[in-house]
Chains A and B, each alone.
Chain A
Amino acid sequence: AQSVTQPDIHITVSEGASLELRCNYSYGATPYLFWYVQSPGQGLQLLLKYFSGDTLVQGIKGFEAEFKRSQSSFNLRKPSVHWSDAAEYFCAVGDATGRRALTFGSGTRLQVQP
């Protein structure tokens, strides 16, 4: 069965600092990987996705993620965090057909200090 681990429950960074959120997955074949962001009281917004090809994917709001098959990881990065990035971030894995929907990690809550 597929699974996703986000080891960091809560991260605090200063505004302007760089950010890396960790995501490890378990899946038997080539995974489809996603990062979503959820602001308080809101729904989920897709930041970026990886299906194949270039292992470094660019997303919205200046985020990027790197797929590392050897480490079963798909970490999310941003070079300079803005106060508006404070939110909860979810990593998810989906199967090749999309028929089983997504399996989500438990999320990482990001706090941004001024």
Chain B
Amino acid sequence: NAGVTQTPKFQVLKTGQSMTLQCAQDMNHEYMSWYRQDPGMGLRLIHYSVGAGITDQGEVPNGYNVSRSTTEDFPLRLLSAAPSQTSVYFCASSYFRGKGTYEQYFGPGTRLTVT
């Protein structure tokens, strides 16, 4: 049971390039989400998914695309990288058990620099 995995760990892009950050989980969780972490701002939600084929925007979705074709995978696409997208990106997944209990499991993060 690997939990939530993210690749790559580090990435440097030039302005205008595109790339995909990969996220996978092996816990059969329904919910997956992407956050970005910037100094002094905590984690901010980019996009989330409540199941395969269903995605929605979070707090800071501009410049990012997502899709969820399987339960396990939730890739994040940067369409045309900008320096403002320099950040650490975390993927998370969660279950929802009856009685309202749940817990978010986080991946190790991807540190992205856009020059």
Interface residue ranges, A against B (CB under 8 Å): 4, 6, 9, 32, 34, 36, 42-44, 46, 49, 51-52, 90, 92, 94, 96-107
A contacts with B: majority SS: loop
Our count of residue pairs bridging A and B at CB distance below 8 angstroms stands at: 65
Interface residues on B, range: 20 to 34
Interface residues of B in 29-82 (CB under 8 A from A): 31, 33, 35, 40-45, 48, 50, 58
For B100, the chain A residues whose CB sits under 8 A away are 32, 51-52, 96
Residue ID in chain A nearest B31 by CB atoms: A98
**Chain B residues proximal to chain A, CB less than 8 Å:** 31, 33, 35, 40-45, 48, 50, 58, 90, 92, 94, 96, 99-104, 106-109
Contact between chains at A104 and B43 (CB < 8 Å): yes
A44-B90, A101-B31, A101-B45 in contact; A106/B106 too (CB < 8 A)?
no
Q: A97-B96, A101-B31, A106-B40 are in contact. Are A46 and B101 (CB under 8 A)?
A: no
User: Are A98 and B96 closer than 8 Å at their CB atoms?
Assistant: yes
Contact B96 A46 (CB under 8 A): no
Chain A hits for B101, CB < 8 A: 51
